[in-house]
């Protein structure tokens, strides 16, 4: 008589294990909007999936805004370049939409088409050319964003998915830090020399 492996009952409750593992291992994000059935499966058994992936050496992160991924601090140089280019792509998209008065938190509602992307490239030509990104390069990069679960292709263009929040959070953090630096710089002339000296001595 064969004794069941102690993991067997747990694995039976995770029917999407292989599919989720392949998806996360490829570097892709799971998005609730794009793959609702897989998301529901992950959400229902999140502790079990997280525990099993951790035992295999992977850190599963699930964001309540509707996306999940394998977090890693060891990015290869190629992945680092792609991440930098994606950050630049999303930054110029957010900048253009902010200038148009669009609400940045509603980025999943935006339809991005080739014509609009060409306009964005023209607005940020020097910045994008410095990174070697032509209008066609931006389109290729959006294709990569789709592969990694940051965007989804539609007949008329592309839509950004909730996983882009990872970049938006970073942009907003940088903007807040910049504002704080500006405020400190504005306040500095009002401080007396004695106050500044006392601050340095107290460090």
Nearest Cα to 93, choosing from 156, 160, 31?
A: 160
Q: What is the CATH topology of the domain spanning 8-71?
A: Arc Repressor Mutant, subunit A (1.10.10)
Q: Is the separation of the CB atoms in 14 and 49 below 8 Å? A: yes
Those residues with Cβ within 8 angstroms of residue 152's Cβ, 6 or more apart along the chain or in another chain: 31, 33, 34, 146, 158, 159, 161
Range list for CATH 1.10.10 in the chain: 8-71, 77-168
pTM of the model: 0.72
Count other Cβ atoms within 10 Å, centred on residue 63.
15
Place of tokens 């008589």: 1
Q: Is the separation of the CB atoms in 133 and 190 below 8 Å? A: no
Rounded Cα–Cα distance for residues 190 and 193 (Å): 9
pLDDT (tens, 9 = 90+) of the chain, 203 residues, equals 444 444 444 566 678 888 999 999 988 999 999 999 999 999 999 998 999 899 888 999 999 999 999 988 665 545 577 888 898 999 999 999 988 999 888 999 999 999 999 999 999 998 898 888 999 999 999 999 999 999 999 999 999 999 999 888 887 777 777 777 666 655 544 443 333 223 333 33
CATH of the domain spanning 77-168, picked from 3.90.75, 1.10.30, 1.20.1050, 1.10.10 = 1.10.10
Rounded Cα–Cα distance for residues 36 and 133 (Å): 33
Those residues with Cβ within 8 angstroms of residue 33's Cβ, 6 or more apart along the chain or in another chain: 66, 108, 152, 161, 162
């Amino acid at each position: 008589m064969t004794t069941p492996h102690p993991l067997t009952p747990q694995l039976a409750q995770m029917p999407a294990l292989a599919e989720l593992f392949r998806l996360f291992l490829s570097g892709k994000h799971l998005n609730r909007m794009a793959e609702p059935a897989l998301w529901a499966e992950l959400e229902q058994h999140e502790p079990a999936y997280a525990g099993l992936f951790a035992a295999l050496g992977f850190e599963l992160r699930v964001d309540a805004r509707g996306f999940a991924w394998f977090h890693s601090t060891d990015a290869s140089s190629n992945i680092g370049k792609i991440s930098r280019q994606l950050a630049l792509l999303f930054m110029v998209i957010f900048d253009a939409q902010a200038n148009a008065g669009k609400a940045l938190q509603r980025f999943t509602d935006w339809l991005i088409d080739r014509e609009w992307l060409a306009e964005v490239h023209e607005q940020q030509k020097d910045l994008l050319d410095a990174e070697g990104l032509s209008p066609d390069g931006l389109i290729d990069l959006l294709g990569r964003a789709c592969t990694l679960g940051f965007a989804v292709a539609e007949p008329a263009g592309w839509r950004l998915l909730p996983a882009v929040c990872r970049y938006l959070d970073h942009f907003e953090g940088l903007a807040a830090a910049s504002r704080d630096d500006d405020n400190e710089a504005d306040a500095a002339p009002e401080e007396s020399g004695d106050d500044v000296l006392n601050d340095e001595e107290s460090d």
